């Protein structure tokens, strides 16, 4: 057993020394600016129950639709481990996080309809394998990079209507996020180990939720049935049983078609690079 | 005089910049990244189905031409022109026969949509390329100016309710959507392989973001059961809602081209 441990340690030291020839770490902060709006996904319908006389109540459907919708603007932090095969070709694995900056959207005015407001809070964490093709000069280098990868997203949407105390907040189950993009990077070498870099690029991220749950409401949560609290998003809806009002079983989640949230942005970033050995 | 000085200055820069003028004809296919989605719902005998259709603007085969200048084998300044040569497709949602149904409800559009669009794009781009032997790769970026004309033909059954009986009216409507030049963004990632001193084979990945603004919508054709009803319309121009007048033409795709560099021997 001791011999195995010894061999493993020798192997680890060896591989570290070998890898050390081209291994580097990077940390950067990027600012994403939305490049395109999208059709606002209708992840849920917002109904407002207004009490009337003699114990009756009227249910109104609230318009939440926004024509110019995008939550692609935001901050993005990246931590990277990279390996330079030579001056031309490098590989990186980026850990990337994102949070959207524009969160509130007021619905378009609509005749005979009440207009609501939604608040979108999105965070995603991705692992992005990246290929860099570069050219090195005296104290600087220019790289063209392309990446794609997967991650996990956390989305919360709050819907409200000014003056009516019936706010609702939905949390969306963690779902896969697919990102891809490309860009240009300029690196300036300060010392043997430290460099500063700046980059410009485009990023495209798609997120398709599969489930959502009502997590808070200004009304008591006990008032809601399962169909009002849970939503399941599916690829197809074919011949599902409904009652006279068009609703599915109240003890099961509401069924809706899947819709994609698209984040298209142009980003500018700045960061530093630490090279192990040169 | 100023123009002459500018031309002389430009000529002097070009002559001393060790650059190459190049042209690049290309052809490629792009996919819509933001299709417009519509949902239609149908309930028959308490069984509900929901159908989704996607209208894809900016998708199709394009022919392009680039005129560019490469400074010091690194910096690219380019004018990229693209024109759609084929962008035709059909989407449909099966139409229910309401005459044979007793217990039903429906919402949304049921029928066929034939879509044909012609997109013209101009993009002044600036970029950087890195080189290794016969291979180089580049990143280019700049504004995208787009002009689009969309012809949409809708074929559907309009049901007339008379004495609690439904009568089918086979309807065909043609719409034309047009707009002015609309600004967006374009980014290209490309790889080139030198075939000889002047010729390069180019593989270009293009991404365009353009949420195109429609300024005019016109009904071009309106027929019910084979009889034209266009003359009955007071105005064939449809008023456009200024808050909701965008058709997203954003797209991405692959373009293949041949780049010819002039005066490469210098």
Q: Give chain A positions within 8 Å (CB) of B133.
A: none
Residue B109 lies in a domain: yes
Q: Across the interface, do B139 and A183 touch by the CB < 8 Å criterion?
A: yes
Sequential DSSP letters for B131-199: EETTEEEEEEEEEEEEEEEEEEEEEEEEEEEETTEEEEEEEEEEEEEE---EEEEEEEEEEEEESSSSE
- Residue B130 has its nearest CB partner, among A144, A182, A241, at A144
CATH number at residue B60: 2.40.160.20
pLDDT for the residue numbered A9: 65
| pLDDT of residue B264 exceeding 70 | no
Domains: count for chain B: 1
Question: pLDDT digit string (tens) for B79-128?
Answer: 999 999 999 999 999 999 988 888 899 999 999 999 999 999 999 999 99
Give, in order, the Cα–Cα distances in Å from B200 to each of B132, B144, B195, B262. 14, 25, 5, 12
Minimal C-alpha gap between B2 and chain A (Å): 36
User: Domain for residue B24, yes or no?
Assistant: yes
Task: Domain of residue B109: give its range.
Answer: 19-261
Domain membership of residue B58 (yes or no) is: yes
Instruction: Give residue-wise pLDDT tens across range B167-223.
Output: 999 999 999 999 999 999 999 999 999 999 899 999 999 999 999 999 999 999 999
Residue B13 lies in a domain: no
Residues of chain B neighbouring A242 (CB-CB closer than 8 A): 43, 46-48
A32 contacts A75 by C-beta, under 8 angstroms: yes
* Interchain CB contact of A266 with B (< 8 Å): yes
Task: Examine residue B9 and state whether it is found in any structural domain, yes or no.
Answer: no
3-state DSSP call for residue A224?
coil
Assess B210–A contact: CB distance below 8 Å, yes or no: yes
Q: Which pLDDT tens digit goes with each residue over B120-153?
A: 999 999 999 999 989 999 999 999 999 999 999 9
pLDDT digits (tens, 9 = 90+) for A46-93: 888 777 777 777 888 888 988 889 999 999 999 999 999 998 999 999
- At residue A200, the 3 state secondary structure works out as strand
End-to-end CA distance of chain B: 31
Residue B10: inside a domain: no
Of A144, A244, A262, the CB nearest to B139: A144
Question: pLDDT-based confidence at B248, cuts 50/70/90?
Answer: very high
Tens-place pLDDT, residues B9-38: 656 555 555 678 999 999 999 999 999 999
DSSP state at residue A5: H
Q: What is the pLDDT of residue B232?
A: 87
pLDDT surpasses 60 at A1: no
ipTM computed for the complex:
0.88
Instruction: Tell whether B6 is covered by a domain.
Output: no
Query: Would you state the pLDDT for residue A219?
Result: 82
Q: Mutate one of A38, A144, A258 to test the B interface: name it (highest B CB count within 10 A).
A: A144
For the CA atoms of chain B, what is the radius of gyration? 25
Query: Which residues of B fall within a CB distance of 8 Å from A239?
Result: 47-49
Cα–Cα distance measured from residue B60 to residue B28, given in angstroms and rounded to the nearest whole number: 8
Domain spanning A23-275, CATH class: mainly beta
């Amino acid at each position: 057993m001791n011999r195995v441990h010894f061999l493993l340690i020798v192997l680890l030291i060896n591989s570290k020394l070998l890898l050390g020839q081209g291994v580097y770490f990077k940390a950067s902060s990027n600012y994403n600016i939305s490049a395109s709006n999208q059709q606002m996904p209708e992840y849920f319908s917002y109904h407002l129950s207004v009490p009337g006389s003699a114990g009756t109540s009227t249910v109104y459907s609230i318009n939440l639709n926004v024509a110019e919708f995008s939550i692609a603007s935001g901050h993005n932090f990246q931590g990277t481990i990279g390996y330079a095969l030579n001056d031309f070709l490098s590989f990186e694995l980026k850990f990337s996080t994102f949070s959207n900056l524009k969160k509130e959207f007021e619905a378009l005015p609509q005749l005979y309809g009440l207009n609501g407001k939604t608040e979108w809070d999105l965070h995603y964490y991705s692992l992005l394998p990246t290929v860099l093709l570069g050219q090195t000069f005296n104290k600087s280098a220019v790289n063209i990079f392309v990446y794609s990868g997967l991650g996990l997203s956390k989305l919360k949407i709050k819907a409200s209507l000014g003056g009516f105390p019936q706010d609702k907040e939905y949390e969306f189950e963690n779902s896969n996020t697919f990102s891809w993009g490309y860009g240009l990077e300029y690196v300036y070498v300060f010392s043997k180990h430290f460099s500063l870099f700046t980059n410009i690029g485009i990023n495209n991220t798609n997120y398709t939720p599969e489930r959502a749950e009502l997590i808070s409401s200004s009304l008591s949560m006990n008032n809601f049935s399962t169909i009002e609290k849970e939503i399941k998003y599916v690829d197809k809806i074919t011949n599902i049983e409904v009652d006279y009002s068009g609703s599915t079983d109240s003890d099961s989640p509401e069924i809706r078609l899947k819709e994609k949230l698209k984040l298209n942005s142009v980003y500018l970033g700045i960061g530093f690079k630490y090279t192990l050995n040169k | 005089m100023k123009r002459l000085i500018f031309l002389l200055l430009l000529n002097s820069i070009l002559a001393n910049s060790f650059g190459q003028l190049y042209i690049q004809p290309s052809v490629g296919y792009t996919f819509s990244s933001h299709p417009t989605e519509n949902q239609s719902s149908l309930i028959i005998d308490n069984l509900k189905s929901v159908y989704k259709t996607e209208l894809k603007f900016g998708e199709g085969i394009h022919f392009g031409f680039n005129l560019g200048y490469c400074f010091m084998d690194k910096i690219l300044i380019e004018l990229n022109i693209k024109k759609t040569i084929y962008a035709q497709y059909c989407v449909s949602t099966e139409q229910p026969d309401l005459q044979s149904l007793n217990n039903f409800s429906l919402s949304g559009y049921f029928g066929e949509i034939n879509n044909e669009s012609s997109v013209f794009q101009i993009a002044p781009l600036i970029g950087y390329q890195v080189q290794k032997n016969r291979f180089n790769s580049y990143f280019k970026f700049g504004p995208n100016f787009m002009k689009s004309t969309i012809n949409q033909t809708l074929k559907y059954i309009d049901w007339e309710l008379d004495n609690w009986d439904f009568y089918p009216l086979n309807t065909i409507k043609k719409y034309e959507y047009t707009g002015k030049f609309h600004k967006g963004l374009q980014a290209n990632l490309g790889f080139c392989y030198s075939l000889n001193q002047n010729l390069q084979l180019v593989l270009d990945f293009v991404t365009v973001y353009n949420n195109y603004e429609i300024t005019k919508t016109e009904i071009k054709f309106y027929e019910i059961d084979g009889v034209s009803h266009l003359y009955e319309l007071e105005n064939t121009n449809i008023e456009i809602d200024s808050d909701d007048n965008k058709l997203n033409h954003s797209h991405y795709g692959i373009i293949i081209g041949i780049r010819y560099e002039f005066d490469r021997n210098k």
